Amino acid sequence: MGTKHGRIFLRILVAVVVMIPLCGCDPVFNPLGPRANRDAISLPLVWRISSQGGTFKNLRGAIDGLAITKAETVGNYRGTSITVDLKRPCIFNTVVLVHGDKPFGFARTISLATSRDGKNFTQQITTQGTRKFTYINLLTSTTARYIRITVVKPGTEPWAISQIYFQ
């Protein structure tokens, strides 16, 4: 690496290696520790999930952290909803539904509502479901403990959710 380009490459490489620890990529960050944002999304291990208006196989599969498991509706699922209890109020503006090995296992239209007490829900958005992943983006961040996702218009296959992410 005696060339000018080699020396430039080496300088850039050293700069990158030095800068990575300063970029907030803390490998030992404790989400329950003193630096954690108290309104950040709680850990999926404590979440609870329930459904109304329809039947699911393996409902817990939607939040168990394993991409190979999934919750899947049985029969007609128009009006079916799932409610995730985050166990404490958390701030988010994006919800992602991963459909796993059922890329067409999405509802055509879904709505999202939020609540702090589990009784009084506020409608946030109605949006289209999409193949493989359904992204639900809110215009502003919201704080809620309970998130309810309801099928407005079913798709062509059973509704399948292998993971739910909140950001």
| Cβ contact 63:49 at 8 Å | yes
Q: What's the pLDDT score for residue 25?
A: 42
Protein fold of 36-166: Jelly Rolls (2.60.120)
| Cβ contact 97:45 at 8 Å | no
| Cβ contact 86:47 at 8 Å | yes
Q: Tens digit of pLDDT for each residue in 68-119?
A: 889 999 988 999 999 999 999 999 999 999 988 888 889 999 999 999 999 9
Comparing CA positions, the residue from 83, 65, 58, 85 lying closest to residue 158 is: 58
pLDDT of 152 above 50: yes
**What is the C-alpha R_g of the chain?**
20
Q: How far apart are CA 166 and CA 89, in angstroms?
A: 12
Q: At 66, which helix (H) or strand (E)?
A: none
Q: At 116, which helix (H) or strand (E)?
A: none
pTM score: 0.76
| Cβ contact 162:82 at 8 Å | no
159: alpha, beta or left, given left = phi > 0 and alpha = psi -120 to 50? beta
Domain parsing of the chain, residue ranges: 36-166
Q: Tens digit of pLDDT for each residue in 13-47?
A: 666 555 555 444 444 545 556 555 555 666 777 88
Comparing CA positions, the residue from 116, 65, 64, 96 lying closest to residue 167 is: 96
